[in-house]
């Protein structure tokens, strides 16, 4: 198994003007295999985009890091140091929530392909158009209807596909997509989910998806990581994690989601995530957890149970290792 991404006790914070660090990601370890679709879900502010940005190599200059992050064999984060040479925009590409913002509004799609392919591979116009046609077809866009268009002349779904095809044409083997389905209607969402799965199957693309959308995550992802307050509290195979959530936070997230065809009362999650600058020395979910007990006042364990990772003391005696 080839690993596309590996994080080891990764911490990412943001330094303010007084040089105080707010830790948005508080020591997480995970792996994404080549060709895997890995989703990161969780409430707003839990650190999902920070991880996505770290993988894509687009953290801001006031970000501080600890631990390690590998993209294939290259250590891009080594404690405080970051080095994305040859990785950023090449091996890894980032598709933002609104893909229109990653495309140049003043250039046609053909011109955008040319600029990228000319600077990366030195292609001339003819070779660039040939390549663009191939990659547009790969994402199910008709080159004759897209190449001469400016981004604003394309729908949101088409812009997203065009951005993905430019990323693939530059040789991206990992795509980080932040909230890729949130601006799409149900039909386009399903189309995009199918496309991502097909690209995974045909070109072995690894996808890191950052989303609030638990239902799409369950449909599309091989693995789901549930984040809370900068920690991964549960990680496991997509479908299983949603049908049999173990961590109390995952259970509450699932209870808060409407499922088509299933009548169930929707529950909100009372309370707010902790806003703590420094280390959190207890289970990050303790304050909001309906089943917390004494032991939760100390760090939760990292448990592995039948291919599932769950960070909760309640499973300590359930065959975990």
Residues 6+ positions from 321 with CB-CB distance below 8 Å: 303, 304, 305
The minimum distance between CB 225 and ligand ATP, in angstroms, equals: 12
Cβ of residue 121: shortest distance to ligand ATP, in angstroms?
A: 32
* SS3 state of residue 239: helix
| Sign of the dihedral through C-alpha 83, 123, 115, 199 | negative
Q: Measured from the CB of residue 60, what is the shortest distance to ligand ATP in angstroms?
A: 5
Residue 147 tokens, joined: 């190449």
**In the bound complex, what is the minimum distance in angstroms from residue 59's beta carbon to ligand ATP?**
8
Residues binding ligand ATP (CB under 6 A): 14, 24, 42, 44-50, 60
41: which 2 tokens? 């879900």
CB of 206 to ligand ATP, least distance (A): 20
CB closer to ligand ATP, 147 vs 225: 225
Bridge partners, residue 3, by sequence: 33
Nearer to ligand ATP, 10 or 138 (CB): 10
How many other CB atoms are found less than 10 A from the CB of residue 122? 8
CB of residue 178 vs ligand ATP: minimum separation in angstroms? 8
CA distances, 80 to each of 86, 224, 262, 320 (Å): 19, 28, 48, 33
Q: Which is nearer to ligand ATP, 61 or 281 (CB)?
A: 61
284: tokens are 């990050």
**Which residue number, 47 or 151, has a Cβ lying nearer to ligand ATP?**
47
What's the min distance (Å) between Cβ of 26 and ligand ATP?
A: 10
Which residue number, 32 or 46, has a Cβ lying nearer to ligand ATP? 46
H helix runs in the chain, sequence order: 48-56, 109-121, 125-138, 143-146, 156-169, 186-203, 214-220, 238-243, 248-255
Hunting for tokens 């660039």 — which residue is that?
A: 128
Cα(258)–Cα(146) distance, integer angstroms: 36
Q: Which is nearer to ligand ATP, 45 or 301 (CB)?
A: 45
- The residues facing 226 across adjacent strands are 41, 234
Closer to ligand ATP by Cβ: residue 21 or 190: 21
- Two tokens at 35? 């060709």
């Amino acid at each position: 198994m080839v690993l596309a991404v590996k994080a080891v006790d990764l911490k990412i914070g943001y330094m303010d003007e007084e040089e105080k660090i707010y830790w948005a990601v508080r020591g997480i370890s995970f792996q994404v295999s080549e060709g895997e679709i890995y989703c990161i879900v969780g409430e707003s502010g839990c650190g999902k985009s920070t991880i996505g940005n770290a993988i894509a190599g687009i953290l801001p200059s006031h970000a501080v890091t600890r631990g390690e992050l590998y993209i294939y064999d290259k250590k891009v984060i080594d404690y405080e140091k970051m080095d994305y040479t040859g990785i950023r925009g090449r091996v890894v590409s980032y598709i933002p929530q609104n893909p229109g913002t990653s495309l140049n509004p003043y250039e046609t799609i053909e011109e955008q392909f040319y600029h990228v392919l000319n600077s990366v591979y030195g292609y001339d116009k003819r070779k660039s158009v040939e390549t663009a046609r191939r990659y547009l077809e790969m994402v199910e866009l008709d080159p004759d209807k897209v190449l001469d268009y400016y981004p604003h002349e394309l729908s949101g779904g088409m812009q997203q596909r065009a951005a993905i095809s430019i990323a693939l044409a530059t040789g991206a083997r990992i795509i980080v997509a932040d909230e890729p389905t949130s601006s799409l209607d149900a039909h386009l969402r399903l189309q995009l989910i199918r496309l991502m799965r097909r690209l995974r199957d045909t070109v072995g693309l690894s996808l890191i998806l950052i989303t609030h959308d638990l239902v799409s995550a369950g449909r599309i992802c091989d693995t789901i990581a549930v984040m809370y307050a900068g920690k991964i509290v549960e990680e496991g195979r997509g479908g299983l994690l949603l049908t049999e959530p173990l961590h109390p936070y995952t259970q509450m997230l699932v209870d808060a989601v409407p499922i088509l065809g299933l009548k169930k009362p929707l529950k909100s999650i009372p309370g707010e995530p902790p806003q703590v600058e420094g280390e959190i020395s207890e289970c990050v979910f303790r304050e909001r957890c309906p089943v917390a007990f004494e032991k939760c006042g100390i760090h939760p364990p990292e448990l592995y149970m039948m291919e599932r990772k769950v960070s909760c003391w309640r499973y300590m005696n359930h065959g975990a290792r």
